[in-house]
Every structure is written in structure tokens, then in C-alpha cells.
Amino acid sequence: MTQSRTISMADACNSDWDVIVIGAGPAGTVAARQLALQNLRTLLIERKAFPRYKVCGCCLNQRAISALQQIGLGDIFEEFDAVPLKSFQVRYHGRELNVPLPGGLAISRSVFDERLVQAAIDAGAYFLPETTAMLKDSGAQEQTRLVELTHPEQSSGVAKTKMVLVADGLGHPSLQHCHDFESVVSHHSRMGVGALLAADDFSNYPAGIIHMAIHRFGYVGLVRVEDGSLNIAAAVDRDFIKKSVSPTEAVKEILKESGFPALAETAEGTFKGTIPFTRKIVRPVGNRVFVLGDAAGYLEPFTGEGMANAISEAIAVARMVPQGLLKWDPALEQAWLRKHHEITEGRLFWCRWLAQLLRSPAAVGLGLRLFHLFPAAARPIVARLNH
């Protein structure tokens, strides 16, 4: 299924919007749906055509599932036969550790995102894909915000809105002309590398398990999704990719050294990369603008924490928007900073700790030996990431 636009560029630019949401990933689509359900005139903009592939893990942890169920979207998983996740398997230099998961599902991002877009449309939001959105800079006291819209085959235009939600992912490209939303990129940031490979030749990677290959220069996560395909999402040092000649070779080397089976030859040349992704926006809020999801800050997730944070932030921001439409003031900005910290910063403590740990071969080896001797010691960490 291809998700089509529900409004023309001309009509979008000639309308007055309560909220424009930039980015149709989980954060943007869930927020757009929740806003439309409050009878707010909402425009959801996405620069890609649907369905679209994203370099991303396809895991939803129990926290994400519970959040979607609470807002009435739990049926998505039954519709598309999402794969229940039972365990987390880690391998490093031939050593293996298996940790039970307290819930979780695997579903391809193309299917999941498209279904969320449809849910937003069903709720009353308007959808404009294949359109680049660029927020124009403005003064701190402006009562409206202007968003420049560009389509590759149409003339550009400007849409007017009372509020903007920015959920357009790494680097938040829609904010590049707004100097109040500076990002800080970690010096040690890795690059994301990913692929979705056809179901053939991957019997060594059974469904229901998050397979994690650990290497001193990165790690690779592999999981089977609803149609049997193998989704691969890796975090790899930039210098190691250069040394390996290509992202594909870097992933193959990590799998080989960790002790996982080799990928089929059909995997050659199919991997895509991202910009360096461990980054954080200095202040994810400004005059009539909320920044959420990966656009606000991205760290290395392991069992679906990224999508859980995105969905939780979308639900939270949709509750704040009506207050901001009545009156935007510094107190509302501080409220969002506190909520963002509560949802994202606090919960990603373990992600930071694990990401740092995985950069030390000695620490990884010691940790796996410890968890092998005392398996129960790993369960609180996994549980903390999932709730």
C-alpha cells in the first residue's frame, strides 16, 4: 500500500493551521493523531514517499506497546502479525549470552510507520508526503510560525500555523535556518548502518530473538520481522567503515568476529548509512515550537528504546499543545524541558552506560563472563530498558 497525500500543496499553503507536524515517524504520526482527536486542524508533512525504508531497528519494547495500547492503537500489531520477542542474544568473540525479554515485538518500519500515518488521517489530520518543510526564523514574540514547503515537481509555498512540532529525525533538517535549535554531536558518535534483507538464507537467525553482535568498533543488531525478512541495524565507528571500504564489509566483519553466521551474498551492497547519530539538541523548545523524538536527541538504543521514547513524547506533547495555543509563555517551555528530561534523559541512562561499556573489549569480556555465571544479574538492566 502507498500512502497518498490528502491535501494539495496549494491548499496546505492557503490554510490556517493550528499545528504543523514535520516528520512522519512514530513521534510525528502519533502526535498528529492525538492532536487531530482534539479537533485541532493538523497538517502532517513527510519529505519521503510512503512506504519508505529507514535505517533503524524494528523492535518495539513493552513500554512502547503499552503506550500505543493506552491510546487505542494496540490493534496495529495484530493486523500485521508482528513477531513477539522472547530473548536478547549477545555474542562477542564466540561467547554467547541469552537474556529473556519482558515483552516486545518486531515489525518492519515501512509497515509500522504507514499504519500510524493512516491512524493520523483517520483521526482527521491532513497528510502531505514528498514535501520538504523548512521552518522560517522569527522573533520570540511572534504569534504564528511560517513553514516553507517544497515539492520536487511543484512550486514551493509557505504555510502558516500557530504551532510547529518538529519530529524529522537526526539533525532536524527542518530547523537549519533557526539558530535557536543548535545540536551538539558527540565526538565519539558512531554512524548508523542498516538493511532489510529478504527472508531467504537466514535460518541461522530465528524469529523472536534480538541477535546482537558486539565488536570493539561497533555492534550489529538483527531481528526477523513480520514477513520473515531480516532487519539489520548497526552502530559502527566511522573510521572502521572507512577502513572496511564499505558499510557492508564493516557489518560482515563484526558478525564474523562475534561468532554469528555470515550473511548471504545477496546482502552485498544493500546497506545504507546515516549521519553520526549520538547527538542532542541544546534546547528542544522555542517560541511555538516543540522538538521531539530523534530530532531532540539520539543515543544508541538496544531493544527498542528509541521508538518507545518517541511515542511517549508524542503523547505528552499533544497534551501540552492546547495550552500553548491559548498562550505561549516561558512556563510552558520549562514544562516541556522537564517532561522531555523525564521521558528521555532519565530513561536513557542505561543506554549511555551500555554504549560506553561496549567500547571496551576488556569490559565486554568481563561482563559476559559475569552474566554467564550469574544470568539473573542481566535481567534488571534489560527490564529497566523495557519499562
The burial of 179, by beta-carbon neighbours within 10 Å (0-12 exposed, 13-18 middle, 19 or more buried), is given as exposed
| pTM, full prediction | 0.90
Using alpha carbons, list the distances in angstroms from residue 36 to 23, 40, 89, 117, 164.
16, 5, 40, 12, 14
Type of residue found at 187: H
DSSP label at 151? -
CATH topology of domain 59-103+190-276+356-386: D-Amino Acid Oxidase; Chain A, domain 2 (3.30.9)
Per-residue DSSP letter, 327: -
On whether the CB atoms of residues 191 and 276 are closer than 8 A, the answer is: yes
Please tell me the predicted confidence (pLDDT) of residue 342.
Answer: 86
Domain residue ranges of the chain, discontinuous segments joined by +: 9-56+110-186+278-345, 59-103+190-276+356-386
Query: CA-to-CA distance for 280 and 291, rounded, in angstroms?
Result: 11
Residue 152 confidence (pLDDT)? 84
| CB-based contacts of 187, cutoff 8 Å, min separation 6 | none
**Which parts of the chain sit beneath pLDDT 50?**
266
Nearest-angstrom CA–CA distance, 356 and 284: 24
Contact 181, 36 (CB under 8 A): no
Architecture of domain 9-56+110-186+278-345: 3-Layer(bba) Sandwich (3.50)
pLDDT of residue 355: 64
In this structure, the number of other CB atoms found within 10 A of the CB of residue 16 comes to 10
| pLDDT one-digit tens code per residue, 199-214 | 776 788 999 999 999 8
CA separation (Å) from 58 to 27, 231, 316? Answer: 15, 7, 23
